[in-house]
Amino acid sequence: MNNIADTRKPSSPTDPVRNGGTVNALVWPTGGLDILSRDEIARLRDAASGSVLHDLLRRCALAVLTTGSALDDARAAAALYPNFDILIRPHDRGIKLELRNAPAQAFVDGEIVRGVAELLFAVVRDIVYTTTEVEGDAKFSTATGAGITNAVFEVLRNAHILKPRSEPNLVVCWGGHSIQRDEYEYTKAVGYELGLRGLDICTGCGPGAMKGPMKGATIAHAKQRRDERRYIGITEPGIIAAESPNPIVNHLVIMPDIEKRLEAFVRLGHGFIVFPGGVGTCEEILFILGLLTYPDNHDEPFPLVFTGPKAAAAYFEQIDQFLKLALGDAVTGRYSIIVDDAEAVARAMKAGVDKVRQRRIRTQDAFFFNWSLTVPEDLQHPFEPSHAAMAALDLHREQPVHRLAANLRRAFSAIVAGNVKEEGMKCIEQEGPFEIHGDPAIMQALDALLRAFVAQGRMKMSGDYKPCYRVVV
């Protein structure tokens, strides 16, 4: 059966990306939500009809339907398609989605692109499932670290991401959505080398350094005749609207918030690569180093490589200097920097993943979910960015390294919110920029790092960039 029916012609037959041409359509699921009981269908329909959840569903669906767009502002996409709406229509064979005034770029000759349809139903699956099945359930109590980890596991299991009979081979690639052309080409080269070695790719699902490794790996996987190729994208509602999934993603997961998204990465991944990026990439680096400097994780094998083309050498030197200044020289033992050598990066990842496999066998830990890794609760609980919360962050050295890393991570997370998340942007518009206080040396280095990101175009937004923060030394 076709996955679409009752379509009408786009309101404008020419370039729909620029002029907002739209389509009305009914879309059937291509998998994952095609076998449901009447009770499940009713709960999906009722939950999605609520005003708050419906608005969230609408924003995330619009992001998927504009996959491949150059827009990086959630409000810009909403302004381009102000009349878009999505409704869940129940019937005895499951559900179907009614799309009203949907972006025409998601359709070809009146039919929705199959990959877009899959991602669209992933949005419904994750957002509505989290609301109806996870939130409010005592066994997923987000008041405890164990409850948060259980919630992460359950969302991933429900999304069919966990593969119990698969060998460890998943490499998480982090990096910016706004990168230089040579940096993007380099991410493809690394992805190609990873693919030749049978490694799959997991990213934040957006463009730039999140798309490049997947694109490179597709060619290598094809050359190696791999039938099952996993290109996993993990996002959260506040990010997806600003960073639409790239079209190569074939497994999309929307976690409830940024902290659960970050935990999902480290529970799933067997090796980690960091490409050049901006504030969001620094947030990820600080999260993972907060984990690796926690005493319980001292012996945990965790391959972590920072890499980029030759022109990115200065970028990683600055990152390295900031990390040593803030967290101490010992932190450099948890990562390596490899510049302009895609093959060396892939070899390092392959060797690191092999060590992870050996460790999991010795400890009888699962290949598909890293239960043995300790995620401190101060890295698990959501940080709601506000002016008061930012001003109250403890960014001084007189605390354990992993705790300082966690607080620095929160500072970067708030800047991400002020840059790209709708609620964060409103907060900045109403009250002005966040103020960041802390150790003078750390604050000066932080300010220099953020200014470099702006100068390098790594915080590119729609229109002229206006800083959402002010460092107070």
The reported pLDDT for the residue numbered 432 is 87
Residue 59 belongs to a domain: yes
Q: How confident is the model at residue 306 (pLDDT cuts 50, 70, 90)?
A: very high
In this model, does residue 242 exceed pLDDT 80? Answer: no
Query: How far apart (Å, rounded) are the C-alpha atoms in residues 345 and 348?
Result: 5
The reported pLDDT for the residue numbered 365 is 93
Per-chain mean pLDDT for the chain: 86
The reply to whether 116 and 240 lie within a common domain is no
Residue 260 belongs to a domain: yes
In this model, does residue 130 exceed pLDDT 60? Answer: yes
In this model, does residue 461 exceed pLDDT 60? Answer: no
The reply to whether 303 and 171 lie within a common domain is yes
CB 204 within 8 A of CB 278: no
The reported pLDDT for the residue numbered 7 is 40
CB 179 within 8 A of CB 209: yes
Global pTM reads 0.88
pLDDT tens for residues 9-19? 433 333 434 34
Q: How confident is the model at residue 41 (pLDDT cuts 50, 70, 90)?
A: confident
Residue 186 belongs to a domain: yes
In this model, does residue 334 exceed pLDDT 90? Answer: yes
pLDDT tens for residues 80-113? 888 999 888 877 667 788 999 999 989 998 889 9
Residue 144 belongs to a domain: no
The reply to whether 252 and 272 lie within a common domain is yes
The reply to whether 408 and 424 lie within a common domain is yes
Residue 230 belongs to a domain: yes
Query: How far apart (Å, rounded) are the C-alpha atoms in residues 204 and 262?
Result: 10
The reported pLDDT for the residue numbered 274 is 98
In this model, does residue 324 exceed pLDDT 90? Answer: yes
Q: How confident is the model at residue 465 (pLDDT cuts 50, 70, 90)?
A: low
Measured CA to CA in angstroms, residue 157 lies from 125, 199, 237, 254, 307 at distances of 12, 21, 19, 12, 31
Provide the 10 A C-beta neighbour count for residue 380.
Answer: 21
What domain range is 185 assigned to? 164-377
Among 358, 377, 396, the domain-final residue is 377
The reply to whether 257 and 192 lie within a common domain is yes
pLDDT tens for residues 386-416? 889 888 899 998 899 999 999 999 998 888 8
Q: Is 443 exposed, middle or buried (0-12, 13-18, 19+ CB in 10 A)?
A: middle
The reported pLDDT for the residue numbered 9 is 40
In this model, does residue 139 exceed pLDDT 80? Answer: no
The reply to whether 386 and 441 lie within a common domain is yes
Residues of the chain above pLDDT 90, percent: 51
The reply to whether 396 and 313 lie within a common domain is no
The reply to whether 373 and 394 lie within a common domain is no
The reply to whether 112 and 181 lie within a common domain is no
For 139-148, 189-198, 288-297, 445-454, which range has the lowest pLDDT when averaged over its residues? 139-148
In this model, does residue 283 exceed pLDDT 70? Answer: yes
- Per the structure, the count of domains in the chain is 3
| 195 against 127, higher pLDDT | 195
For 329-333, 336-340, 375-379, which range has the lowest pLDDT when averaged over its residues? 375-379
Residues 6+ positions from 198 with CB-CB distance below 8 Å: 169, 224, 226
Provide the 10 A C-beta neighbour count for residue 313.
Answer: 13
pLDDT tens for residues 419-430? 777 778 888 888
For 6-10, 77-81, 251-255, which range has the lowest pLDDT when averaged over its residues? 6-10
The reply to whether 187 and 69 lie within a common domain is no
H or E element that contains 69: none
The reply to whether 410 and 319 lie within a common domain is no
CB 131 within 8 A of CB 47: yes
